[in-house]
Amino acid sequence: MLGAIIGDIVGSVYEFNNYKAKDFEPFFHPKAFFTDDTVCTVAVADALVNGIDPAVALRTWGRRYEKNGGWGMRFAQWLGSDDAGPYNSYGNGAGMRVSPAGLLAGSIEEAIRLSNHVTAVTHNHPQGMRAAAATAVAIHLARTGMAANAIRAEIVSRFGYDLSMSVDEIRPRYRYNERALDTIPQALTCALEATNFEDAIRNAISIGGDSDTIAAIAGGLAEALFGIPEDIAAIARLKIPEDMREVLTTLYAKAAQSS
């Protein structure tokens, strides 16, 4: 989960000012900040570790940090209403926030079940559900020690995504898009092709598009594949408030019990 948060923070300054290369410096831009991607990921973790209705958790955290911005229009409308149900979204927000499900799952089936539980409250379109499930399953498989090529094959077989293009092939023509179908495969590829955690985040930023969300998705998988260097993790923890750090601590403690 911290990997997703790091991706969000690093990508926050490039979402509307894409940088189509991997050599950006410093890794954490001075103006980098956590966005709605982090807020929603924390909400999902809170829901799963504390048995809270995902819709309640998302609204509680979303309203608490509403000023961090970046909310999609339909999600913002949903956030402001206590009565709104799922709105058939096929956006990438479901995959962006689902990393806690992958961390907690003890099997592929549980990863899908947990993913569906936290996704259906908003992104109940088949593409939204598939995006979140694929991301959660990839993270679960990485936590079991499965190699990147095997994870790629499993995601292609189970979810039907095309993961055949390399990062270098994606980059030249990739443009801003919030559809799950046009962001999840690219984000997963950025992690599966990487040589380490930082490389995955740099891959994600380099293709452009919805940079914070792509890097959040890639970061969640990259954490499971490689772990996070302590210096990067320490900086990220300082960039989020104490209530979010508390949820992180609880999530990792529970994930350790299930591994």
Query: Which top CATH class is 2-258?
Result: mainly alpha
What is the predicted pLDDT for the residue at 259? 66
Q: Helix/strand/coil (H, E, C) string of 21-85? A: CCCCCCCCCCCCCCCHHHHHHHHHHHHHHHCCCHHHHHHHHHHHCHHHCCCCHHHHHHHCCCCCC
Identify any residues that bridge with 91 across adjacent strands, giving them in sequence order: 179
- Per-residue pLDDT for 20 more than 90? yes
pLDDT confidence of 257, banded at 50, 70, 90?
Answer: confident
Domain spans of the chain, in order of start: 2-258
Question: 237 is written with which tokens?
Answer: 């923890």
| Of 69-73, 126-130, 175-179, minimum mean pLDDT range | 69-73
* CA distance linking residue 243 with residue 257, whole number of Å: 22
Question: 240 is written with which tokens?
Answer: 């989020």
Question: 247 is written with which tokens?
Answer: 């949820």
Question: 214 is written with which tokens?
Answer: 């792509």
Please write the tens of the pLDDT for every residue from 202-255. 999 999 999 999 999 999 999 999 999 999 999 999 999 999 999 999 999 999
Residue 48 zone, left/alpha/beta (φ > 0; ψ -120 to 50; rest): alpha
Please write the tens of the pLDDT for every residue from 92-115. 999 999 999 999 999 999 999 999
* CA distance linking residue 208 with residue 70, whole number of Å: 17
Within 8 A by CB and 6+ apart from 142, the residues are 148, 151, 221, 224, 225
Closest CA relative to residue 200, chosen from 245, 151, 248, 252: 151
